[in-house]
Amino acid sequence: MDLKAEQRGDLLIVTAMGDRIDAAGAIQFKDRMREITEAPTRRVLLDLSRVSFLDSSGLGAVVAVMKALGPDRKLELAGLTPTVQKVFRLTRMDSVFTIHPAVPDRGQPGLRDAG
Amino acid sequence: MPGDSLRRLVPQEAADQARIVIRADPMAVRDGLRALFDMPVLRAMPETERGVAQIVLAEALNNIVEHAYAGGDGVIRVSLRRQRADLLCQIEDQGAPMPGGVLPAGVPHPAAAREDLPEGGFGWHMIRALSRNLRYRRSDGRNHLSFRLDARRPAP
């Protein structure tokens, strides 16, 4: 699973480039996220718009990433595709994360001031 | 002529069922699911129902890899059959039996503080929530799991 990171102020936007976060890739995803989020931004936004499938191992990895960020940093999600959204809803994890419909455009005030 | 009726039957069967044998390994499960979802019986299903089928089959197969075979070698046989509006799914493995001979309850996690959130245990909850007629049986040293899924959108 390739991840691409872009820093905008105190927001780090990480884009998952692969189409699935599953049992075969969950550990690698978690490790790559840990490396990328070493940049000390207050908020991390994970763009999942290219991910068409996430299983319970993938979900566990996303939860683990959020916990590893510690209490002072937030993990937010954007661009959940229908099947991924279903997994979050069924496990009630949609109430745990802030979920954006899409990655906001550069310079959008809502994004800069949110949090 | 028998040959004629056979030729007529084969495409029909191919469109209505799919079988695959998958090695008990996470990467083989990923590849196996990709292959299954390229087969006509699953390609014919609407997007939402395909998504549900992918979730349930992935959870069932990954559970077998992680728990029944627990990292050891083995194979998983998957057989899917379209029956009217249902997709009948049968999965067989020769790994360890379910503890206590029954399927895990798979209850959703209780509201937990962030640091107490679970990182696993979601699988059976999703299988139970998304499937019907879920059955488990152990016989001849094999686990047999079967369930039904919607193969098409329920009529309004």
A56 chain-B contacts, CB cut-off 8 A: 59, 62, 120-123, 126
Burial label for B155, CB within 10 Å (0-12, 13-18, 19+), is exposed
Q: Which residue has the higher pLDDT, A96 or A1?
A: A96
If you average pLDDT over every residue of chain A, what do you get? 91
User: Is residue B61 in some structural domain?
Assistant: yes
Report how far residue B123's alpha carbon sits from residue A86's, in angstroms, rounded to the nearest whole number.
13
**What residues does B132 pair with on adjacent strands?**
B148
Q: pLDDT tens-digit profile of B29-71?
A: 999 999 999 999 999 999 999 999 999 999 999 999 999 999 8
Return the pLDDT at B117: 80
Is residue A102 very low, low, confident or very high in pLDDT (cuts 50, 70, 90)? very high
B119 chain-A contacts, CB cut-off 8 A: 60-61, 63-64, 67
Chain B: residue whose CA lies nearest to A54 = B55
* B154 vs A: CB within 8 A: no
User: Is residue B51 in some structural domain?
Assistant: yes
Please report, for residues A27, B11, B132, the alpha-carbon distance to residue B92 in angstroms, rounded to integers and kept in the order given.
27, 25, 18
Question: Is the pLDDT confidence value at A92 over 50?
Answer: yes
Among B90, B89, B85, B58, CA closest to B150: B85
* From A64, A71, A86, residue closest to B55, measured CB to CB: A86
Q: Give chain A's end-to-end CA distance (angstroms, integer).
A: 28
Is residue B119 very low, low, confident or very high in pLDDT (cuts 50, 70, 90)? confident
* From B51, B123, B130, residue closest to A56, measured CB to CB: B123
The CATH number given to whatever domain includes residue B60 is 3.30.565.10
User: Is residue A49 in some structural domain?
Assistant: yes
What is the number of alpha carbons within 13 Å of residue A95 lying toward its C-beta? 10
Return the pLDDT at B5: 52
Domain count, chain A: 1
User: Is residue A113 in some structural domain?
Assistant: no
Is residue B95 very low, low, confident or very high in pLDDT (cuts 50, 70, 90)? very high
Determine how many CB atoms are found less than 10 A away from the CB of residue A114: 14
Question: Is the pLDDT confidence value at B107 over 80?
Answer: no
What are the structure tokens assigned to B148, written together? 């039904």
User: Is residue A111 in some structural domain?
Assistant: no
User: Is residue A115 in some structural domain?
Assistant: no
Q: Which amino acid is at A29?
A: F
User: Is residue B97 in some structural domain?
Assistant: yes
Return the pLDDT at A108: 54
Q: pLDDT tens-digit profile of A3-33?
A: 999 999 999 999 999 999 999 999 999 999 9
Domain that holds residue A56: 3-106
CA torsion sign, B45 to B47 to B50 to B52? negative
Query: Residues 96-135, chain B: which have Cβ within 8 Å of A?
Result: 108-109, 114-115, 117-123, 125-126, 129-130
> What ipTM is given for this predicted complex?
0.89
CA torsion sign, B72 to A26 to B116 to A80? negative
What's the mean pLDDT in B10-16? 61
User: Is residue B120 in some structural domain?
Assistant: yes
Question: Is the pLDDT confidence value at B26 over 90?
Answer: yes
* From A55, A82, A83, residue closest to B62, measured CB to CB: A55
DSSP sequence for A54-101: E-HHHHHHHHHHHHHT-TTSEEEEE---HHHHHHHHHTTGGGTSEEES
3-state SS, one letter per residue, for B53-83: HHHHHHHHHHHHHHHHCCCCCCEEEEEEEEE
Domain that holds residue B143: 14-150
User: Is residue A34 in some structural domain?
Assistant: yes
When scoring B59, B64, B119, B124 by the number of chain A Cβ atoms within 10 A, the one with the most, hence best to mutate, is: B119
| Placement of tokens 């798979």 in the chain | B106
User: Is residue B5 in some structural domain?
Assistant: no
**CA-CA-CA-CA dihedral for B121, B125, B127, B131, to nearest 10:** 180
Q: Please report which helix (H) or strand (E) contains residue B88, including its range.
A: strand B86-93
Domain count, chain B: 1
User: Is residue B2 in some structural domain?
Assistant: no
Report how far residue A64's alpha carbon sits from residue A54's, in angstroms, rounded to the nearest whole number.
14
Question: Is the pLDDT confidence value at B106 over 70?
Answer: yes
Q: pLDDT tens-digit profile of A32-63?
A: 999 999 988 999 999 999 999 999 999 999 99
